[in-house]
Amino acid sequence: MSKVIKEEKIIKEFNTVGKNVEKYDGLPLVTGQPLFTDDIFLPNMLYAKIMTSPYPHAEIVEIDESEALKIPGVRIVLSYKNTPRIAHTTAGQGYPEPSPYDHFMFDKKVRFIGDRVCAVGGDSIEIVEEAISKIKVTYKELPYVLDPEEAMKGEVIIHDEDDISGVYDKNRNIISHVEIPIGDVENELKESFYKIEEEIYFTQPVQHTPIETHISITYFDEYGNLIVRSSTQVPFHIRRILSKILEFPMKKIRVIKPRIGGGFGVKQELLIEDICSLMTIRTKRPVRMELTRKEEFISSRLRHPSKIWIRLGADRDGKLNAIDMRVLLNNGAYGTHGPTVLFNSGSKTLPLYNKVKAVRFIGDAVYTNLPVSGAFRGYGATNGYFALESAMDDLANLMGIDPIELRKINHISEGETSPIFEKLGEGKEGITQYIESSALSKCIEIGKKEIEWEKWRGKRVRNGNLVRGVGMAIMMQGSGIPLVDMAGARAKLNDDGTLHLFIGATDIGTGSDTILAQILSEEVGIPYEDIKVYSSDSDFTPFDTGAYASSTTYVTGGAVKKVGNEIKRKIISYASKLMNENPENLIIKERSVVNIITGEKISLREIGERSFYDFEQEQIEASASFISPKSPPPFAAHFVLIDLDLETGKIIPIKYVAVNDIGVIIHPNLAKGQAIGSIVQGLGFALTEELIYSKRGVMLNPSFLDYKLLTSVDIPEINVKFIETYDPTGPFGAKSVAEININGPAPAIRNAVLDAVGIKLNSLPMTPEKVFKAILNSGIKI
Amino acid sequence: MREFEYYKVKNLKEAINLSKKFGKNKRFLAGGTDLIVRLKDNLIKEENIIDIKNIEELKGIKEVEDEIHIGSLVTFSEIIESDILKKYSPLIVEASKKVGSPQIRNKGTIGGNICNASPAGDSIPPLFCEDAKFFLESTNGSRIVNIEDFFKGPGKTILKEDEILVKIILKKWKENEFGFFNKLGQRNALTIAIASSCIKIKKSDGKIEDIKISLGSVSPTVIRAKKVENILRGLKEYKKDEIIKICDEVKEEIDPITDVRGSREYRIEVSKYLVFEALNNLLNIRG
Ligand SMILES: Cc1cc2nc3c(=O)[nH]c(=O)nc-3n(C[C@H](O)[C@H](O)[C@H](O)COP(=O)(O)OP(=O)(O)OC[C@H]3O[C@@H](n4cnc5c(N)ncnc54)[C@H](O)[C@@H]3O)c2cc1C
């Protein structure tokens, strides 16, 4: 029995929730069962590949595929010449999508090096590659622009098509613009005793690097249904977008998501399914496409590179008077996720300091002729926090106070709200929210102790070429998108007394199948082992928006809890007739319905069996949906101890402490895995990961040799701690854990360097070279 | 990947005869950790691949009087585990530990590292400090060349068309010899050096009797920093400021490029400190 304790009182006790039950797919995964998209082989399967643009911006004058079609085994070439032209967004978001409709399956124009030109399907990948080398494309090169500030001048127009929509200002390449003033920022700044005049922060393009790149296999079943087996986070959005852009009846499309080798946001996107599907429709053959690692880097999606300006004003005792934040996102050639990532860089960060008198958020998401940015764990908040939490340390530095104290004075607490919640939503206005659970203050205290803050802070302990520093950052995220994300769940009772759970939710390695079964088990009162989970099949499971926005535990969990309650009521109601007892006196316990007065019981097996075969026959089942007006934020405080090597500029993380309030924890090991995974990804973002472009926009390091992910020997001791709170709106008090922890490493390390040597590193990643240059410029004695 | 002919040979003679036959149009395959990557990227023009992995004459680490002979097929993992090398030539052991990952160290060979002739090859700086000699064999017989004469530029060596590297010859360390290898990468494993430095010192009565300094990734080939060596040779007093100043001279001896791993400027500046840090580990430097 696990317990949730608040102020020394036990507030909840659970049977399954809070236990490290065996991961639902753990055994088949570790024994190498054929669970993934690519683990099937279909006879007559075609292999597909996309031919991509060698120019950053060009018109396609002519595509001559005649030589390619002569090669034996080449079956189909798709291009703008023979595909429907229907504007859409590749973003897998709720409908209508906040992203602009600026993408076509194939277009007459290419907008970055790596953009789609045409696609070939053939009997083997070698044949297809040869075919691509034989396709002659004549381009008319156009001027291009890689820098978003240049792009906003409008000298080069990247999207001039008449048939696109949802773009804020095509003539200046602005996808989305926002300007939210709350109070009088200029005046508050003027009146402030302490001011951070203007600090500018830069974040770099990085990739999600899932172990499994994008892969889809499409085929027709015996009834002429198009089956799309795909590595996706959003099967229902894929079905909807496919039906629209292929002009193919939705009824005949079935999207199946098998096990997934990682997503992190890059699979919240329709990237290859359309091509495979259309090839299957045209050739009637199964079609397989898998991106190579290089294609995954260049032609899938990235985290938005950004430039962020921050101004802060505070009075003598550290109370914030003004936060002025301006964000410029480089969206690359298409606007997918542009408006929402832009809004989130403010909406997920600014409410953290809700006591401020005036806030302003100005933002632009801009087209350039670079590879495309999209959804990435953290979703704008990661960029925003690097800037905001760095600026907070700059302010504390200026005031000469402990940065922890500055945060304590200003951060949001339980029962409070922020005007930002209402002003900034998903590319539009948001929804007012009060914080119903927060242990942020406690997280800060515990982390401070764990990292030995007092021992290291400000001491600049030097050991030869190494100087030690300690830094921290605090953060929040959300749990789903309020009044947008909806999830359905269905459950049925079998004649052996077990339950089947059907959910549209998409387990992309997160463990959501496991924790959703735990929630059902807890609610109904049957063992976790008695639940079988079916998920992510657009024909057989109910709708779910998908795996993004830290939503599954909270939103789908909410639906599962409701369905559990409903089926429990139905089981008891059925049993009450069998037992001739008032349902109020019956509970489900030890695989039986038990009369709490007499102790009489009847097993779930008997109930299941009799409901099928002899007594008031019916299928006992239930379905439910969940949508919330809230998105309760999880909170975290991160601390890092580093050594800085003055002779090389190398930052060596020594110890990392992350203290989380994610509500009630459903599965401690899985939650910890999410936290550690986020931190490792965040450390790579902070220290080494960066995609580098030539002056023409050629990506120079699209490989694992030259794109530096951290390896196991680069990662410090990571200590994750949870302070449980109970959020009254979440299933059994749960909030979310998927994204929040990626926001901490960059500002915490940056602030540790500030502590160690007084240098402000405002541009990511903090590579040895950059740090070394800053050390030389600062005149510090090496 | 383009098509090629694959030959697996059983002995040295067969390898040399085949390579004579194909001339320029062939490549030897040892561990394949360089070659296969390049094959997959279509960077190899040669149409014949001669797999030398089964040639016994190229294997093993042997003590021969005051020398150690390392077969060209010896892998980094074998080097790291070799008691002979740990005892008599520890620098090459230290450098080998810094190569790639366990998988790369299990497959990658010292001969491949040398013949690939990258300025970033991690085994090469220590071999410069050891004044290594390379035993080569061709249809014209064998010859021994000094390491300093072997490399001609990135990817370029003096190896003739039908010539193969058989073994590397090192002198055993004496008692008063010490060394340090220092590799700077973007991360701690699976990383190609931004710059590296290697130092071997012979000390007597607290004095630097002899010193050899080599640097990787900062010139078209691995180089020796002989000017700095000359200034340091004979030194008895080790003051930090003075030593750093001497290390600064290394700038005159290197000629790095800018690439995705680091800029020329950074490589120039950081080389000085890599040399200093190596010295710092070997000498009792004060203040
Ligand atoms: C992921 C990865 C990480 C790496 N990390 C490092 C690193 O940290 N440090 C480092 O130095 N290197 C690194 N490398 C490069 C490579 O592993 C080494 O250079 C290795 O020593 C090559 O040896 P091999 O046996 O695999 O050579 P092969 O690939 O088999 O051959 C390399 C070249 O040498 C020639 N050749 C091989 N043996 C002979 C011979 N006996 N005579 C004549 N010619 C010969 C071949 O024809 C070929 O041109 C890395 C490579 C990869 C893929």
A61 and A13 housed in the same domain:
no
Helix (H, G, I), strand (E, B) or coil at B16: helix
Of A264, A299, A334, the residue that ends a domain is A299
Residue A163: other Cβ atoms inside 10 A: 10
- Residue A170 scores a pLDDT above 80: yes
Same-domain pairing of A52 and A128: yes
A233: domain CATH number is: 3.90.1170.50
**Centre of ligand 1 from the C-alpha of residue B29, in Å:** 9
Domain identity same for A13 and A135: no
Domain-located, residue A330: no
Question: What dotted CATH number matches B178-282?
Answer: 3.30.390.50
- Average pLDDT over every residue of A199-204: 98
Q: What is the mean pLDDT of residues A646-662?
A: 98
- Domain positions in chain B are 1-53+61-173, 178-282
Q: What average pLDDT does this structure show over A480-501?
A: 97
pLDDT tops 90 at residue A325: yes
Per-residue model confidence (pLDDT) at position B159: 97
Is B263 near chain A, with CB under 8 Å? Answer: yes
Same domain, A86 and A25: no
A72 within domain boundaries: yes
Q: Does some domain include residue A381?
A: no
Contact assessment for residue A238 and residue A232, using Cβ atoms and an 8 Å cutoff: yes
Residue where one domain finishes, among candidates A299, A331, A349: A299
CA atoms within 13 A of residue A407's CA, in its CB half-sphere: 27
Largest CA distance in chain B: 62
- Residue among B170, B229, B221, B225 at smallest CA distance from B197: B225
Residue A612 pLDDT greater than 80, yes or no: yes
- For residue B278, the chain A residue with the least C-alpha distance is A647
In a domain, A652, yes or no: no
Residues 6 or more apart whose CB falls under 8 angstroms from that of B225 comprise: B213, B214, B215, B249, B250, B253, B254, B275
Q: How far is CA B30 from CA A79, A269, A644, B24, B105, in A?
A: 44, 43, 39, 17, 13
pLDDT digits (tens, 9 = 90+) for B207-219: 999 999 999 999 9
| Residue A113 counted as domain residue | yes
- In whole angstroms, give the CA distance from residue A58 to residue A653: 45
Please state the ipTM of this predicted complex: 0.95
Q: Are A387 and A324 in contact (CB under 8 A)?
A: no
Structural contact between residues A485 and A538, judged by C-beta atoms closer than 8 angstroms:
no
Average pLDDT over every residue of A107-131: 98
Contacts of B266 in chain A (CB under 8 A): 768-769, 772-773
B280/A464 touch (CB, cutoff 8 Å), yes or no: yes
Test A648 with B186 for CB contact under 8 angstroms.
no
> Which residues in chain A have their CB less than 8 angstroms from residue B189's CB?
711-714
With tokens 């001039």, the residue in question is A160
Digit-coded pLDDT (tens) for B43-91: 999 999 999 999 999 999 999 999 999 999 999 999 999 999 999 999 9
Q: What is the pLDDT of residue A267?
A: 98
Average pLDDT, chain A: 97
Please give the model's pTM, rounded to 2 decimal places.
0.96
pLDDT confidence of B98, banded at 50, 70, 90? very high
Question: Which residue bears the tokens 């029962």?
Answer: A415
Same domain, A47 and A20: no
- The tally of domains found in chain A comes to 2
Give yes or no: residues A12 and A88 share one domain: no
Q: Give me the domain span that covers residue A25.
A: 2-33+486-627
User: Which one of A133, A714, A715 would you mutate to disrupt binding with B, by most B Cβ within 10 Å of its Cβ?
Assistant: A714
Query: Looking at the structure, do residues A593 and A498 belong to the same domain, yes or no?
Result: yes
Contact B104 CB / ligand 1 (< 6 Å) = yes
Measure CB to CB from residue B273 to each of A648, A700, A708 and give the nearest one.
Answer: A648
Which residue pairs, CB below 8 angstroms and at least 24 apart, start in B19-26? B19/B50, B19/B161, B19/B162, B19/B163, B19/B164, B20/B138, B20/B139, B20/B161, B20/B162, B22/B46, B22/B48, B22/B50, B23/B161, B23/B162, B24/B161, B26/B50
Distance of CA A540 to the CA centre of its chain: 25
Residue A623 pLDDT: 98
Q: Whose CA is nearest to atom 53 of ligand 1?
A: B33
Domain assignment present for residue A440? The answer is no
Q: Examine the fold and report which residue of A627, A644, A667 is the final residue of a domain before the chain moves on.
A: A627
DSSP E strands, A345-414? 358-367
CATH number of domain containing A12: 3.30.365.10
The rounded Å distance from CA B224 to ligand 1 centre is 22
Q: Where are the beta strands (DSSP E) in A494-591?
A: 499-503, 531-535, 586-589
B109-148 residues touching A, CB cutoff 8 A: none
Using an 8 Å Cβ cutoff, are A288 and A217 in contact?
yes
Cβ separation A772–B270 shorter than 8 A: yes
Q: For A689-718, what is each residue's pLDDT tens digit?
A: 999 999 999 999 999 999 999 999 999 999
The whole-number pLDDT of residue A2 equals: 62
Residues A575-600, mean pLDDT to the nearest whole number: 97
Nearest to B260 among A647, A701, A772 (CB): A701
Chain A neighbors of B188, CB-CB under 8 A: 711, 713-714
Is B187 in contact with A776 (Cβ distance < 8 A)? Answer: no
In Å, how far are A505, B5, B45, B117, B118 from B26, measured between CA atoms?
A: 54, 9, 9, 17, 19
A127 CB neighbours in chain B (<8 A) are: none
Mean pLDDT of B147-155: 97
Residue B185 CA: nearest ligand 1 atom is 8
A295: which residues sit within 8 A by CB, 6+ positions away? Answer: A50, A52, A114, A213
Is residue B253 lining ligand 1, measured as CB closer than 6 Å? no
Indicate whether A715 belongs to any domain: no
Average pLDDT of span A467-489: 97
Atom 19 of ligand 1: nearest residue by CA position = B113
Whether omega before A96 lies within 30 degrees of 0, making that bond cis, reads yes
Cα of B102 vs centre of ligand 1, distance in Å, is 14
Q: Which is the closest atom of ligand 1 to the Cα of B30?
A: 30
A689 — phi, psi (to 5°)? -75, 130
In a domain, A396, yes or no: no
Q: How confident is the model at residue B270 (pLDDT cuts 50, 70, 90)?
A: very high
Q: Is B113 helix (H, G, I), strand (E, B) or coil?
A: helix
Residues 6+ apart with CB under 8 A from A246: A84, A274, A277, A278, A281
A29 and A96 within one domain = no
Measured in angstroms, how far is the CA atom of residue B116 from the centroid of ligand 1? 6
Atom of ligand 1 nearest to the CA of B109: 25
Most B CBs within 10 Å, among A294, A648, A687, A712, to test the B interface: A648
Q: Rounded to the nearest 10 degrees, how much is the dihedral formed by the CA atoms of A359, A365, A366, A367?
A: 180
Residues 77-96, chain B, touching A (beta carbon < 8 A) = none
Domain B1-53+61-173 CATH (choose: 3.40.50.1390, 3.30.465.10, 3.20.20.70, 3.40.50.12160): 3.30.465.10
